[in-house]
């Protein structure tokens, strides 16, 4: 199949995507290379090169054309290069033959099953991993909407125990279980909704989910009327929303007793570390 790669400066990605997505019926993949992002379009319906150049406009750094394998497994393998997260973590694809060789001395997680969200290439996953790496609290941990289970796996690797993970999608539950096995960590993965269940009373919770799911989650957190914040987590890492929803969502977490300690805004996405207010 035809494949076009468009390299643009990271700061211009959202603006270019606004113009590309309406003309790319098969979607656009993003590969984050730090200061530069590569947008990849594949398939028979990719627009003509001149149209793509116009859509990229002045943000265009380079455009290259090629042919990708007809086998989706091959294409996926080619997409999954090591992802480096600030703080010394590397995420490797278990499929890539060079995985072991690419591992350096830092912390490494191998995602043998990437059939769910959370391979580290999305800014929300990367920001949540960074916030978790910086956390000096330990105890129980819940990954609410776990996808590949990458946040739970990092938590278990850092010494959190027990580590719980929940996702409504059976494919995510399977992926998280097999990824945990691949990394030799113990995680209890449950299929279900995040706003019910025992996970919310863990010491640290992470939820990289859409705004509506945060609303349901925050509604179930302990009210600030409990002076010691009993029942609430000692820290929450939240993401999955943009600046438009951030004030409302972080405001409702605050009303539930969790105040913003660190906020990361990256490529149109927000991630925040919340801790109990004093």
Ligand X SMILES: C[S@@+](CC[C@H](N)C(=O)[O-])C[C@H]1O[C@@H](n2cnc3c(N)ncnc32)[C@H](O)[C@@H]1O
Per CB under 6 A, 147 contacts ligand X: yes
Among 40, 68, 146, 204, binds ligand X (CB under 6 A): 146
Q: Which region among 62-70, 77-85, 162-170, 181-189 touches ligand X (by CB under 6 A)?
A: 162-170
Question: Is 123 among the residues that bind ligand X (CB under 6 A)?
Answer: no
Q: Which of 37, 118, 160, 218 binds ligand X (CB under 6 A)?
A: 118
Q: Can you name the residues that pair with 269 across neighbouring β-strands? A: 266
- Pairwise CA distance, residues 191 & 157, whole Å: 22
Separation between Cα atoms, residue 260 and residue 274, nearest integer Å: 4
Residues of the chain by 3-state class (helix, strand, coil), percent to 5: 35, 30, 35
From 123, 145, 229, 257, residue interacting with ligand X (rule: CB under 6 A): 145
Of the candidate spans 25-33, 79-87, 88-96, 113-121, the one that interacts with ligand X by CB under 6 A turns out to be 113-121
- Which region, judged by CB under 6 A, interacts with ligand X, from 34-42, 82-90, 117-125, 178-186? 117-125
Minimal distance, residue 140 CB to ligand X, in Å = 17
Q: How far is 96 from 113, CA to CA, in rounded Å? A: 12
240: contact with ligand X by CB under 6 A: yes
- Distance of closest approach, residue 110 Cβ to ligand X, in angstroms: 16
Residues 79/31, Cβ–Cβ less than 8 Å: yes
Other Cβ atoms closer than 10 A to 252: 16
Phi, psi of 120 (to 5 degrees): 100, -10
* CB hemisphere CA count around 277 (13 angstroms): 16
Q: Is 38 in the site for ligand X (CB under 6 A)?
A: no
Least CB distance to ligand X at residue 111 (A): 11
CA 185 distance to own-chain centroid: 20
Output 46 or 155, the one with its CB closest to ligand X. Answer: 155
Nearer to ligand X, 20 or 146 (CB): 146
Is position 213 an interface residue for ligand X (rule: CB under 6 A)? yes
C-alpha separations of 218 from 80, 137, 200, 224, 240 in Å: 34, 21, 10, 12, 14
Which residue in 194, 202, 250, 275 binds ligand X (CB under 6 A)?
194
Q: For ligand X, which residue of 28, 208, 271, 275 counts as binding (CB under 6 A)?
A: 208
Q: List 188's β-bridge partners, or say none.
A: 164
117 binds ligand X (CB under 6 A): yes
DSSP-assigned letter for residue 223? P
Closest by Cα among 115, 244, 103, 105 to 177: 115
Which residue number is nearest to ligand X in terms of Cβ? 145
Query: Phi first, then psi: what are they for 21, rounded to 5°?
Result: -60, -40
Q: Please pick, from the candidates 15, 30, 193, 203, the single residue that binds ligand X as defined by CB under 6 A.
A: 193
Judged by CB under 6 A, the stretch of 72-80, 93-101, 124-132, 251-259 that binds ligand X is 124-132
Q: Are 157 and 150 in contact (CB under 8 A)?
A: no
Residues within the interface to ligand X (CB under 6 A) = 116-118, 124-125, 128, 143, 145-147, 150-151, 166-169, 172, 193-194, 208-209, 213, 240
């Amino acid at each position: 199949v035809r494949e076009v790669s468009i390299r643009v400066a990271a700061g211009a990605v959202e603006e270019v995507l606004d113009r590309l997505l309406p003309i790319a019926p098969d979607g656009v993949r993003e590969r984050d290379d730090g200061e530069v992002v590569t947008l990849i379009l594949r398939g028979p319906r990719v627009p003509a090169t001149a149209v793509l150049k116009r859509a990229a406009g002045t943000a265009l750094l380079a455009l290259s054309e090629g042919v990708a394998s007809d086998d989706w497994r091959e294409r996926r393998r080619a997409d999954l290069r090591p992802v480096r997260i600030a703080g010394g973590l590397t995420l490797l694809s278990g499929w890539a033959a060079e995985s072991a060789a690419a591992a350096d001395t830092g912390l490494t997680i191998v995602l043998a099953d990437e059939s769910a969200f959370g391979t580290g290439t999305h800014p929300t996953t990367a920001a949540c991993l960074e916030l978790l790496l910086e956390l000096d609290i330990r105890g129980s941990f819940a990954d609410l909407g776990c996808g590949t289970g990458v946040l739970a796996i990092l938590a278990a690797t850092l010494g959190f125990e027990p580590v719980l993970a929940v996702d409504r999608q059976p494919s995510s539950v399977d992926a998280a279980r097999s990824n945990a096995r691949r990394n030799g960590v113990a995680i209890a993965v449950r299929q279900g909704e995040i706003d019910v269940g025992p996970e919310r009373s863990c010491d640290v919770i992470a939820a990289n989910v859409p705004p509506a799911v945060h609303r349901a989650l925050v509604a179930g957190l302990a009210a600030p009327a409990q002076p010691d914040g009993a029942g609430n987590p000692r820290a929450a890492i939240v993401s999955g929303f943009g600046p438009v929803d951030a004030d409302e969502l972080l405001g409702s977490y605050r009303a539930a007793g969790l105040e913003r300690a660190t906020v990361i805004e990256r490529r149109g996405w927000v991630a925040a570390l919340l801790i109990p207010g004093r």
